[in-house]
Homo-oligomer: A and B are copies of this chain.
Amino acid sequence: MVRQSTGIRGVAEAASVSVTTVSHALSGRGQVSDETRQRVLDAAARLGYTPNRIARALRASRSNVLGFVSEEIATTPFAGQILVGAQEAAAELGLMLMIVNVPRGAVDDPQIGALLEQQVDAMIFASSSHREIRTPGRLDPLRTVLLDAFDRDQRIPSVVPDEFGIGYLATRRLVDSGHRRIVHLTVDEDVPAVVGRVRGYLAATAEAGLQPLIVRVAGPADARAGSEGVRRAVRIENGVTAVFAFNDQMAMGVYQEISLNPMVSIPHEVSVIGVDDLRLIAEALRPGLTTVALPHAEMGRRAVQIAARLPFAPQEPLTLQEPFALPDGEGDSIRLPGTLVERQSVAGIV
């Protein structure tokens, strides 16, 4: 936008004071008489004065802008929620977000340099899936927060979903409805989401004195995998009354497979629970899919809040809260819990 309004100087002339006084009056930082302040405020309002944050940033060596590096934002339907959470938190803190998209794993993308040239105060690196990453070389580890990722070596602050808690929550929902034969359908990948949810499942079944049954199929974790998984589960053990699917897409595969058998219906013969709360899927399925929503917006919020504190007090240790104490030492991380979203795919055992 071409600058149409006056700067501080115009206001000063209109109010017949110096720019210093205008600055003091507007910022409330110096001593200004009430009468003068009012004159300045009036003049500013009359002229439609808008502060120039670029000038302020240059002078203060502080941009109040956060760099948001998104790894393939387009590939995940959750990116929007993360961004909204991040943006809201930024707005509350008087910060702006400058965003950049990089290919997956492109940890030294030139775009990151562009963000640095823009003098961003801190960086948020948002991974496209929960995993361990190599820290972007050009990022100052003291000025970076990892979102949905963690870095074992450098102990960069990170915000991730509590995968263990999610697995536990989903399984408990089924246990609490009286199910005794609960299968967990997952994939054969060594990533935190898979590992953590499996552990949560094992903890919840053990706690209830149940025999665990985990079916792992080859990834990716999509509808096909869900169908295959439920087929294999039934072959292994046919008393299954509940399925905890790794995610909603696999749950959709479970629905499709079950719909092939007119004798079995959800939730009466089989209860199903997923993870992700992909509304497009969860709301469209019949019956609606009960699932565990990931705390995407909250992850975005928290990442920004941590990043905002970084430039001010780098020496002051961050207080990290851990809703669940995980034994797997992922480094300093904030783990945020998932939320159960009830629809109609889980029924009690009679």
Known contacts A81-B74, A88-B101; decide if A284 and B281 are in contact (CB<8 Å): yes
- Chain A residues 1 to 44 lying within 8 A of chain B, measured CB to CB, are 1-4
Q: Please, how many residues of chain A have a CB less than 8 angstroms from a CB on the other chain?
A: 67
CB distance from A266 to the nearest CB of B (A): 13
CB distance from A58 to the nearest CB of B (A): 5
CB distance from A265 to the nearest CB of B (A): 12
The chain B residue with its CB closest to the CB of A248 is B280
CB distance from A275 to the nearest CB of B (A): 14
Residue A52 lies at the interface, judged by CB distance under 8 Å to chain B = yes
The chain B residue with its CB closest to the CB of A262 is B262
B98 and A98 form a contact (CB under 8 A):
yes
Residue A309 lies at the interface, judged by CB distance under 8 Å to chain B = no
CB distance from A146 to the nearest CB of B (A): 15
Bitwise interface map of A from 102 to 122 toward B, beta carbon under 8 Å scored 1, else 0: 000000000101111111111
**A281: chain B residues within 8 A (beta carbon):** 280-281, 284
Bitwise interface map of A from 74 to 115 toward B, beta carbon under 8 Å scored 1, else 0: 111101110110011001000011111100000000010111
Residue A239 lies at the interface, judged by CB distance under 8 Å to chain B = no
Q: Bound complex: CA of A77 vs CA of B313, how far in Å?
A: 37
Which one of A154-162, A249-257, A320-328 is at the B interface?
A: A249-257
A58 and B61 form a contact (CB under 8 A):
no
Q: Bound complex: CA of A242 vs CA of B264, how far in Å?
A: 30
CB distance from A276 to the nearest CB of B (A): 10
**A259: chain B residues within 8 A (beta carbon):** 259
**A340: chain B residues within 8 A (beta carbon):** none
Residue A222 lies at the interface, judged by CB distance under 8 Å to chain B = yes
A1 and B120 form a contact (CB under 8 A):
yes
A280 and B278 form a contact (CB under 8 A):
yes
Known contacts A73-B80, A117-B50, A280-B77; decide if A97 and B96 are in contact (CB<8 Å): no
A residues neighboring B (CB under 8 Å): 1-4, 50-55, 57-58, 61, 63, 65, 67, 72-77, 79-81, 83-84, 87-88, 91, 96-101, 111, 113-123, 139-140, 142-143, 222-223, 249, 252-253, 256, 259, 278, 280-281, 283-284, 286, 297, 311
Give 26 pairs: A residue, B residue, CB < 8 Å, sorted on A: A1-B123, A1-B139, A1-B140, A3-B61, A53-B117, A54-B54, A55-B58, A72-B84, A73-B84, A74-B81, A75-B80, A77-B80, A77-B280, A79-B80, A87-B100, A87-B101, A88-B101, A91-B100, A96-B115, A96-B118, A97-B99, A97-B100, A98-B98, A223-B284, A249-B284, A253-B284
